[in-house]
Amino acid sequence: MIRLSVNINKIATLRNARGGNVPNLLHVAADCERFGAHGITVHPRPDERHIRYADVYDLKKLVTTEFNIEGYPSKQFIDLVLEIVPEQVTLVPDPPEALTSSAGWKVDANLAFLKDTISLFHSKNIRTSIFIETEISNIYKALETGTDRIELYTEPYAANYPADKQKAIADFIQAAIAAQKVGLEINAGHDLSLENLKYFAENIPGLLEVSIGHALISDALYFGLENTIQMYLRQLKIG
């Protein structure tokens, strides 16, 4: 089965809207694992508008599956990851003020920076993944960074899926084939949902993990968290 990592940023957003500790982020993370999720993803930002840096330390003590920390590799972020030592770090190129991740790395323009950063994480045996789009030459260049994985930025797939799912996924299939060709492992995330996840999982060769937050937490408002996680897991049972 392709692994499901639940991004709990939206739980932190809801908590922060009123102050206090409702909903309890740690309880939700533990429940996600108890309900079958294979990992927990967080994206701490400098303004702490959802996940706080203190949350990351608390979650490290709690998460028993895979802990994935994603974010822009500022010094503060790098220091945090090196201290926490999660199972995986996912590097995204978005600036601190970005509402959400909206583009992948232009690897050639950031090659030296990415190589140096990834080397730091590898010194602590942290698996690295970089957020990337489907341009084949960019994927080949990613190999030079030393990254273990790429995470395919799937917003274009999700946006185009309702009109023509075969056309929407075509570039992602070719990107996955290219990644496999050079030995890069494959994650995916951004706007994957119950509507489009199964088709993506069935058609992307070598897909190991998806990270899903906004759609999953939104669905949980209607279906309940346990039921929703099980619904997503069923989409990932291929074959």
- How does pLDDT run across 102-115, given as a tens digit for each residue? 689 999 999 999 99
Select which of 33, 66, 70, 209 is catalytic: 70
Tens-place pLDDT, residues 115-159: 999 999 999 999 999 999 999 999 999 999 999 999 999 999 999
Which pLDDT value is given to residue 32?
98
Q: Are 150 and 141 in contact (CB under 8 A)?
A: no
Domain ranges of the chain: 3-235
Q: 97: closest CA among 30, 163, 49, 62?
A: 49
Q: Is the pLDDT of residue 237 over 80?
A: yes
- Is the pLDDT higher at 187 or at 97? 187
Q: Is the pLDDT of residue 87 over 80?
A: yes
Query: Residue 221 contacts by C-beta under 8 Å, 6 or more apart in sequence?
Result: none
228 pLDDT exceeds 80?
yes
Task: Note if 27 is an active site residue.
Answer: no
| Residue 190 is a catalytic residue | yes
Query: What local confidence, expressed as pLDDT, does residue 16 receive?
Result: 97
Distance between CA 31 and CA 36 in Å, rounded?
Answer: 9
pLDDT score of 41 more than 60:
yes
Tell me, what's the pLDDT at 179?
A: 98
pLDDT classification of 94: cutoffs 50, 70, 90: confident
Q: What is the CATH number of domain 3-235?
A: 3.20.20.70
Largest CA distance in the chain: 49
pTM recorded for the entire structure: 0.95
Q: Supply the mean pLDDT for the chain.
A: 96
Average pLDDT over residues 5-30: 97
185 is catalytic: no
Tell me how far the alpha carbon of residue 232 is from its chain's centroid. 15
Rounded-to-integer distance, Cα 95 and Cα 39, Å: 25
Q: Report pLDDT for 34.
A: 98
- Report the range of poorest mean pLDDT among 37-51, 98-112, 209-223: 98-112
CB 212 within 8 A of CB 6: yes
Catalytic member of 43, 50, 66, 151:
43
pLDDT above 70 (res 208): yes
State mean pLDDT over 206-225.
Answer: 98
* Active-site pick, 38, 66, 190, 209: 190
Q: How buried is residue 131: exposed, middle or buried, by Cβ count under 10 Å (0-12/13-18/19+)?
A: buried
Per-residue pLDDT tens digits for 46-84: 899 999 999 999 999 999 999 999 999 999 999 999 999
